[in-house]
Chains A and B, each alone.
Chain A
């Protein structure tokens, strides 16, 4: 049965922008201090961020903090995200959340974790990557695979090469420069050497939908079970509490039943062609 969200999730908590870190030309990470502590988000959950006078948009947590301090990595793709990505430290925003079902970390102990990201899909995975680096997930091993359009479009490159180096990151880009040291091609080219024993693999995948589909199929071709693959779906989240129906995907409301789904749940829904 679907759990009912608290009514207070409809009222934004005000938040102060404590820091702004530019990640890419069109992407920043905002560190927010919430005026009232929320529930500590689970990695993979999202908040509805409100730019006063402009609008509200669903943004995943890229740092889960303790419920009073959180990070969001945001790309400028429209009016609301432009208002958010041009915030200065000290600016006031609204935040509702945390919403949705995050990554199922209870499946990870004793397993080989593959964290597979495409483009900005690395943002919702960042808390998992940090936990894996800290060794708090109980996995037998973990590896990070990241695909991006080009080296300049690779999110968190400094962290990947320093703090996350223990995850033996495999980086691929579609368009390389001659100074690029990683792979060239889709992120799937790195899977072959990463899987090891497929029976032990738990893969968490986030990126554009086509990328997740291709990765999931490649994993299954290599004998990883569909229920050992978790993906994060992006839909038009608006209310965050399964009332407005904008994010409905078949029988599911992505804002409450997702955004994270197992591949055996997601695949039949994604196979339905949009009209």
Chain B
């Protein structure tokens, strides 16, 4: 069953990504989104492919992964309820650098990135909020990736 716009706004209201957005801003954002169901193994973004969509996870989990020799397929991050999946839509060339795959069944609000960029350009207050949230999210993911690069747990501690 397709949820009504009111249902979608209610869903978005409960998401951390949409915290403190006004009713008008939520409605503007909801107009760019659709509640979708995903099944395990569904590939939502492909490495090197266009990043025309992004998702706010309602339930379930999505893997961010990369593949290629010599390591084969490597899962770089796993995103859960409340996380935003897909970040390459914020800046040109709007191309995904990773695969995004559903770990199991779940639901997400899928946003049309072009529509969101258009809404942000038309309403600078909304645009400022959305891009600030994306900047925070990118900062947090950069920090997390740097910690992973440090190989924190491989130290010499003998205990």
Identify the A interface with B (CB < 8 A): 57, 59-60, 62, 72-78, 81, 118-121, 123-124, 147-149, 153, 174-178, 180, 182-186, 188-189, 207-208, 210-211, 214, 234
Contacts and interface: CB of A to CB of B under 8 A. Distances in A.
B155 A81 contact: no
14 contacts: A57-B158, A62-B159, A73-B159, A75-B157, A119-B157, A120-B158, A149-B151, A153-B153, A174-B148, A176-B63, A184-B78, A185-B78, A185-B148, A214-B147
10 closest A-B pairs by CB: A119-B153, A184-B78, A176-B75, A186-B147, A208-B155, A174-B148, A211-B152, A149-B153, A123-B159, A77-B158
Contact of A189 (B144, B151, B152, B159): B144
Interface of B: 63, 73-78, 80, 144, 147-148, 150-159
Nearest to A78: B158
A75 to B, nearest CB: 5
Contacts of B159: 59-60, 62, 72-75, 120-121, 123-124, 234
A181 B64 CA distance: 14
A12 to B, nearest CB: 18
Chain B interface, DSSP helix/strand/loop, else mixed: mixed
Contacts of B154: 119, 149, 153
Contacts of A121: 157, 159
Contact of B80 (A62, A147, A183): A183
A150 B148 CA distance: 11
Given A76-B158, A186-B152, 15 more contacts: A57-B158, A62-B159, A81-B158, A120-B157, A121-B159, A147-B152, A149-B153, A153-B154, A174-B151, A178-B63, A184-B75, A185-B77, A185-B148, A188-B147, A210-B152
